[in-house]
Amino acid sequence: MGKYSQDSNTDSEIESGSDFEMEEEVQGDEYDDTNLENESGSEFEMKEDVEGDESDEEEEDDDDDDDDEENVQKNEVQKDAELEELEQEYQNLQIFLKNLKSHKDEDIQKGQAVKNQKILWDKTLEHIILLHKVYSSSNKLPQEPLRASFLESDKAVNEAYSDLVTSSEQTINCLLELQEVLLDKNPSIKVSDGTKVASNLNVENDEKWLRIQQMHSRIAPWRDSYIDKWHRKTQVTTGEAGYKGKLQAFNQNISEQVAGYMRDPSKRIKAMQLRRSTVCIIGADYDAACNKEVEEENMVDGDPELLDDFEFFHQLLRELLGSAVVTSDDALAKEQAKFNALKGQQNRKRKTVDRRASKNCKIRYNVIEALVNFMAPEHPNVPSHG
């Protein structure tokens, strides 16, 4: 019994040990399974992380590609805008160059026109200077009734006088015809009706003066408007309008100033009239002229038959000499010498004044001349019987 009980106990212990070992093996297997499951889960999680990183990288790459495309589009739009601006600038430059060429051609034409006008003006002044001596000498021609007696006494004198009158009339007609042609070529000058004549002129019986007056009335409005226009332009370019604006005379147009100056032409005409005593008229009685000299000195007006616009002539001569026009003509050289002599006479008329003495900055004294042949006085004795 005892032995059987020990064997049974031993068997039971063996069975219990085997059961325990089986439980441990089962638990080990379960632990291994859990470890495998944990390892597989970590591997899955790692795969998921890798896949997530790859997806993030793909998204970032897609975003970068989108940004690059947007930048490329923006750059293309900016380049297109810059190209449009460059094309617009190029077109503007082309237009500007075209305008410059047209303005250059216009400026060349204007410069040539001004040059031609200056040449014509200088030639006109030259002819006026050359004709002034002849014009002044014409005052010496005999007057009526002596002129008629000269013509009747000599046939050659009569023919020469007739030729002179005829050539003068032809010259006036040529000048008037030339003026009419020039006026007809200018479209800005209106055609005159031929009835507008100044009221203060009696030209009804003189066809030449009537024609001259009609021509003057036709050209006067156009002349005044263009003179005022260019006068204003010169004032603006030279700056004269700024510092001369306070004076009323300079605010007026140049045509208005000339009209105001010529409002009373009788004063200008009287200034041009010469006295008989200053002109040696051919055939005039010298004794009678000397007797009338005192009477003419008291007279304010001169002889209406003797005219000389010497003031206007001297002004034109100053302009010609001031413009530095070089000419080889002897007449102009003589006129220049006369002008210089006249200018020297005007300068000599000026008084010499010692400004230091007038301001009490200089001692005033008078030099006493030396005594010549001086002899001391002798008092003679007067005799008593004398």
Tokens at 178, concatenated:
């030339």
Instruction: Tell me which DSSP letter residue 140 carries.
Output: G
User: pLDDT-derived band of residue 205, with 50, 70 and 90 as boundaries?
Assistant: low
Average pLDDT, the chain: 71
Tokens at 109, concatenated:
């034409």
Measure the CA–CA gap between 263 and 257, rounded to whole angstroms.
10
User: pLDDT-derived band of residue 328, with 50, 70 and 90 as boundaries?
Assistant: very low
Measure the CA–CA gap between 197 and 203, rounded to whole angstroms.
9
Q: Are 313 and 128 in contact (CB under 8 A)?
A: yes
> Which residue, 303, 304, 324, 198, is CA-closest to 259?
198
User: pLDDT-derived band of residue 70, with 50, 70 and 90 as boundaries?
Assistant: confident
Q: How many residues would you count in the chain?
A: 386
Alpha helices in 193-291 (DSSP H): 207-238, 240-243, 248-251, 254-261, 265-272, 286-291
Look at residue 5 in the predicted model and tell me its pLDDT: 46
**HSE of 347, CA atoms in CB hemisphere, 13 A:** 6
> CA angle at residue 286 from 285 to 289, to 5 degrees?
90
Look at residue 340 in the predicted model and tell me its pLDDT: 66
Give the tens place of pLDDT for each residue, 9-41: 445 444 445 554 555 554 555 545 555 455 555
Give the tens place of pLDDT for each residue, 257-302: 888 877 877 877 787 787 777 777 777 665 455 555 545 544 556 7
Q: Phi then psi for 304, rounded to 5 degrees?
A: -65, -15
Look at residue 351 in the predicted model and tell me its pLDDT: 62
Buried b (16+ CB within 10 A) or exposed e, 196-209: ebeeeeeeeeeeee
Measure the CA–CA gap between 322 and 141, rounded to whole angstroms.
34
Look at residue 306 in the predicted model and tell me its pLDDT: 80
Tokens at 158, concatenated:
């009569």
